Amino acid sequence: MNDIGAVLQARDLYKEHGQGQSLVRAVDGVDLDVPAGQMLAVMGPSGCGKSTLLHLMGGLERPTDGEVWVAGRRIDTLNERALARLRRRAVGFVFQAFHLVEELSAAENVELPVLLAGGSPRAARRRAAFLLERFGLADRARHLPWQLSGGQRQRVAIARAMANEPLVLVADEPTGNLDTAATLDVLRLFEDLRTAGQTLVIVTHDERVAATADRLISMRDGMFVDDTQLAGRTTGRLDGLIGLED
Amino acid sequence: MGRVLLIVRLVLADVRRHPTQAVILLVSVAAATAMLGLGASLHGATEALYRKTRTATAGPDAVALSPGTDRATIRALTSLAHMPGVVAYSGPYREYYTTLTAHGSTGAAVVQAADATPGPIDRPLVTSGRWVRPGGVVVERGFATALGAGVGDRVTVAGRSLPIVGIAVTAAHNVYPWAPGIGPGGGPSDGGGLVWMAERDTRALKTSDLSVTSFVNLKLRDPDTALTLGHRDPAVASAVGDTWVNIRAWQDMAAQDSIMLKASQPILVIGSWLLAFLATAGVATLAAGRAAKQTRRVGLLKAVGATPGIVAAVLLAEYLTLALLADSLGLVAARLIQPVIINPSASLVTTATGPTGGTIVVTTLVAVAVAALTSLGPTVRALRTETVTALADSAHQPQHRAHLTRLSALLPTPLLLGLRLIARRPGRAVLHACNTAATLATVTGLLMIYAQPSKGYPGSAMANDLRNAQEHHVILAVTAALIALAAINTVTTTWTTAQEARPTMAIARTLGATPGQITAGLSVAQLLPTLPGALAGVPMGIILCLPFSAGNVTWPPAWSLLAAALAALPATAALTAVPARVAARRSVARTLSAEAA
C-alpha cells in the first residue's frame, strides 16, 4: 500500500461534518502522495477543505474514511497518545494565527517541542538558539510574542515547528496575516528549508506563495481538481515575484 | 426605561448563556449567608424562644424549690406565695426523682404530680395527645424526643408501666436535660427529663423510697424583679426562715436554656466567614475566567454606543442581582434551619425567631461585598480597555515568569505543564491554596472538637452528652458545607484554568503532548497549591480552636491531622480528573480554528 519514498500519503480520504441534510463533505475521496523533499502547495477558495486536509495529514483530525500514512506508518488508526508521539518527531505545524504561547518568550516557545519530546533543557536551549539564529531572530529570543511583529512571530512559529527536525512541515495559510515584506521573509525561509531537503505542505490562498512550490494542487468542494508539477520553480528569484519586491 | 430594559435583557441573556456559573454563584453565596444568618441569629434566639414558650404556657416568674415534703417546707413555700409582690401562685407540687424507660432506653426523670386542670400559672402546652389523666403520663417533649417516645407508647416510670397520653412543653422547668433544677436533697442535679402524672397515680410513689422536692410557681407584680428574689431579700428571708429554699427566676431559666448553644455560635460564625471566603474565591475564579469574554463584550457594547455607565451597570447588575437573590435564599434557609439549631432539646415551642433586621443587613452586606469584590476588578479593567483593543480580545496579556518557566523545563511533562499553568495565573494558585487551607482549618476544628472529653457540668452526664452532640452536629454540618463548597471551587478552578489555557494546551498537543499529559498537567496545576494550603490549614484550625477551649486541650492524634492534610491531595486529584480529562479530549483542530477566527 505505502510507497517508501513518500513521506505523506492519503488513500481514498473522506472527512464529513454534520449529518443528514446538514452533512458537509470537507474532504471527498482524496488520494495524495508527497515525496520526501517536495514543497507542495494546496490552493483553493475558502471552505474547500484544504485546512481540513492538512489537519488530517498531520494527525490533528481523524478521517471519516480512508487511510493516512506518514513515513510508511498508517496513522488514521492510531489512538490520541500515539498520534501525539508521532507529531513530536514527524510533523511540524505552522498556522496562520501563529499560535505562539503568549506567556513564553520566543526562545521558550521554540524550546517547548524539544522538552515535550523528552529532550534536556540544555539541548532545548541549544536547539532554540540555533534556530533563532538561523531565522534571524537571535536578538528577539527573549521577547514575548506580543512584542514581535507579525513576520517575526511567524518565523518563531516556523522555528518551533522545526525544533524536532520533523519529516514534514505543514503550514496552514502561513502568510495570511502578514504584510508583503513579512511574506517575503517567510517565503525565503521556506525556500531555505526546501533547499535543505525539508518536505513542506503549504495551504494557501496566495498564488504568489503557491508559485514558489514544486507542485501545486487545486481543491474545490473537498476534491482535487488539478495537480501540477511546477517546472519553473522560483528558487533564487523570490524578490522578483510580482508584488513581493522589497 | 429603555436603558433599564436593555440592561435587564442583557443580564438575562448572559445568565441564560452561563447557567452553571449563575448556579455556582447562587449556591456559594447562599451557603455563606445562610450560615452567617444562623450564626448571627443565635445570640438571644433561645431566650426569645423561651419567652414565647413562657407566654404560651403562662410560665411562672419564679419557681421556689425545697427538698422534702415536711410541714416546715410546705409552710415556707406557702409563705413565699403570700409575700408582697406575688400576685398569683400555683402549688405546692411535688416532683419525684426516679427513672423512665422507653423502647429499652432508660433516663433519669422527675415526675411531677399534675392537676387534672392546670392552675393559672404554668399551663403546659400539649403539642400532641392530651393532658394527664389517671393511668397515663404526659412526657415533656425534649425528653420524649431524646427517648424516641411518642403518644401511645408505653413507658415504665418508677417500675410501673403506663401509656404516654400526651407530649407537652413548659416554661416552669429548664429544658431537657436540666428539668430537675435541683438534685435530690437539694444537692447537685444529675440531669433528667420531666414527666407529668395524675396526682392519684403519684400516691404510689409516695410510699416508695424516692427523693422528693416540693415547689411552688410564683407570679410577680413586676416580673423583672424576679432576679432579686433571694435570701438577702428581707421578705423572702422572713417567709422561709431556716428552711433551705432555692428560687429560680425566669431569667435564669432562659439563660440556662441557651447554654447548649454557647459552643455552637462561634462554630457557626467562624464557619460562615470561612464559607464567605470560599464563596468569594469561587466566584472570583469564575469572574476571572470570564474576564476575557467580558472585555470583548464591553468592546461590542461600546462599539454600538453604550456609555461607560450602562456598561458598568450591565456587568455589575448580573453579579449583584444573583448575590442578592442568593442572600434571600440563604436567609430563608437560615430561618428554616434555625428552629432545629436554637431548640436542640425540642423543649421549647417551635417557631422561627429570626433573622433580625441587623442579621439581614449583615448578610446582605456580605453578599454585596462578594459580588463587588469579584466583579468590580474585571469591570473596571474592561471599562478602561479601549474599544478596539477590547474587540481584538487582546486586552490581557499573561505575564512572563522566566524563573518558573526555566524551573519547569527540568521537570517531567505533566509537572512542566502544571507549573506553567500556575505561572500564567499565580493569583489563582494562591486562591486555591487558601481554599484548601480554609477547608483543612475546619476539618482540623472538627478533629479538635471530637477529641475533647465531655466537660462542663459535673454530675450532669446527660447535659454533657446533649451539648456535645449539639456541638458535634454543628461542626459536622459546617465542615460538610465547607468541603462541598471547596469541592465546587476546585472543579470550577480546574475548568476555568482549562478554558483559559485551551489555546496553549491545544498548541502543546500539536507539538506532541498527549491527552494524558494535558490531563495530568491540569490536575498538577491544582495539586501543587493544594499541598501548602493543606499544611497551612492544620495550624490555622488549631489557632482558631484554641481561644474557645477551656484551658486543658486534648490534642487529636498527630497522625489524624497529617492524614487529613494529605487526604486533600487524592481528593483534589479526584475532583480535577473529570474536568481536566474533558478539557484534554477537546479537538485540537477545532480549538485552534476557533482561536484563529
- pLDDT tens digits along A217-245: 999 999 999 888 886 555 445 555 545 54
**pLDDT in the model for residue A38:** 92
Cross-chain Cβ contact A113/B516 below 8 Å: no
Closest partner CB to A116 (pick from B423, B503, B513): B513
Instruction: Say if B423 is an interface residue toward chain A (CB within 8 Å).
Output: yes
> Does the distance separating the beta carbons of A88 and B512 come in below 8 Å?
yes
Long-range contacts of B454-457, Cβ-Cβ distance < 8 Å, separation of 24 or more: B455/B550, B456/B550, B457/B191
Burial of B55 (0-12, 13-18, 19+ CB in 10 A): exposed
Asked whether the beta carbons of residue A80 and residue B416 sit closer than 8 angstroms, the reply is no
- Segment 424-463 of chain B within 8 Å of chain A by CB: 424
Long-range CB contact pairs, B541-548, < 8 A, 24+: B541/B440, B541/B441, B541/B442, B541/B443, B541/B444, B541/B445, B541/B447, B541/B448, B542/B444, B542/B448, B544/B270, B544/B441, B544/B445, B545/B444, B545/B445, B545/B448, B545/B449, B548/B263, B548/B266
Nearest to A55 among B423, B514, B589 (CB): B589
Interface test with A, best of B400, B511, B593 (most A CBs within 10 A): B511
3-state secondary structure of B22: helix
Smallest CA–CA distance, residue B564 to chain A, in Å, is: 35
- B91, B64 contact by CB (below 8 A): no
Q: Does the pLDDT at position A8 exceed 90?
A: yes
In 10 A of CB B352, how many CB atoms? Answer: 16
Question: What's the pLDDT tens digit per position in A106-158?
Answer: 999 999 889 888 889 999 999 999 999 988 899 999 999 888 998 899 999 99
Q: What gap in Å lies between CA B588 and CA B597, rounded to an integer? A: 14
Disruptive mutation site among B397, B399, B510 for chain A (greatest number of A CBs within 10 Å): B510
Check if B278 contacts A (Cβ < 8 Å).
no
Query: Does B503 contact chain A (CB < 8 Å)?
Result: yes
Bridge-based pairing state of the strands B105-114 and B193-198? parallel
Buried b (16+ CB within 10 A) or exposed e, B478-508: bbebbbbbbbbbbbbbbbbbbebbbbbbbbb
Instruction: Let me know: does B35 contact B278? Beta carbons within 8 Å.
Output: no
The torsion defined by the Cα of B45, B50, B54 and B55, in degrees rounded to 10, comes to: 20
Tracing cell 406575688 back to the chain, one arrives at B86
Distance (Å) from the C-alpha of residue B590 to the closest C-alpha of chain A? 9
Comparing B82 with A246, the larger pLDDT belongs to B82
Q: Is the pTM of this model over 0.90?
A: no
pLDDT at residue number A161? 92
Under a CB-based contact definition with an 8 Å cutoff, are residues B546 and B553 in contact? yes
Of B401, B420, B516, Cβ closest to residue A81: B516
Residues of A with CB under 8 A from a CB of B: 51-52, 55, 58, 60-61, 80-81, 84-85, 87-89, 93, 95-97, 99-105, 108, 111-113, 115-117, 121, 124, 144, 146, 160, 164
Interface test with B, best of A78, A86, A115 (most B CBs within 10 A): A115
The three cell numbers of residue B381 are 479593567
Q: Which ipTM score applies to this complex?
A: 0.81
Residues in chain B: 597
Interface of B with A in 134-193 (CB under 8 A): none
Is residue A48 over pLDDT 60? yes
To probe the interface with B, which of A54, A96, A100, A104 has the most B CB atoms within 10 Å? A104
- The HSE-up count of residue B419 (CA atoms within 13 Å, CB side) is 16
pLDDT at A198: 92
Predicted confidence at residue A132, as pLDDT, reads 93
The alpha carbon of residue A80 is apart from the nearest alpha carbon of chain B, in Å, by: 7
Q: Is B393 on the interface with A (CB under 8 A)?
A: no
Note whether B406 contacts A103, CB cutoff 8 Å. no
Q: What is the mean pLDDT of each run of 10 residues along chain B (597 residues)?
A: 76 82 84 80 73 82 80 76 80 82 80 81 85 86 81 83 87 78 71 83 73 82 76 69 76 74 70 77 76 74 75 84 91 81 71 75 87 80 72 63 84 90 86 90 84 59 66 80 85 87 89 91 93 91 77 81 91 92 86 71
The chain B residue lying nearest A177, using CA atoms, is: B596
> Which of A53-57, A181-185, A215-219, B220-224 is the least confident region?
B220-224
Q: According to the model, what pLDDT value does residue A236 have?
A: 46
Q: Is B83 on the interface with A (CB under 8 A)?
A: no
pLDDT for A12: 94
Nearest residue in chain A measured CA to CA from B404: A104
Partner residue opposite A60 with nearest CB, options B400, B515, B588: B588
For residue B461, report the phi and psi dihedrals to the nearest 5 degrees: -60, -40
The domain defined by A6-235 carries CATH number 3.40.109.10? no
List B residues 510-539 in contact with A (Cβ-Cβ < 8 A).
510-517
Question: Measured between CB atoms, does B308 come within 8 Å of chain A?
Answer: no
What angle is formed at CA B250 by the lines to CA B248 and CA B254, rounded to 5 degrees?
Answer: 110
Measure A59 CA to nearest chain B CA, in Å: 9
Percentage of chain A modeled with pLDDT above 70: 92
How close is the nearest chain B Cα to the Cα of A154, in Å? 14
What's the half-sphere exposure (Cβ side, CA atoms, 13 Å) at B133? 6
More confident residue, B220 or A4: B220
Q: What is the pLDDT of residue B464?
A: 62
Residues near A114 by beta carbon (within 8 Å), at least 6 away in sequence? A123, A124, A127, A128, A163, A164
Position A160 confidence tier, pLDDT thresholds 50, 70, 90: very high
Nearest CA distance, B402 vs chain A (angstrom): 8
How far apart are alpha carbons B379 and B311 in whole angstroms?
Answer: 9
User: Sorting pLDDT into bands at 50, 70 and 90, what band is A246?
Assistant: very low
SS percent in chain B: helix, strand, coil, step 5: 65, 15, 25
3-state secondary structure of B91: strand
pLDDT at res. B325: 92
The dihedral over CA atoms of B536, B537, B543, B545, expressed in degrees to the nearest 10, equals -170
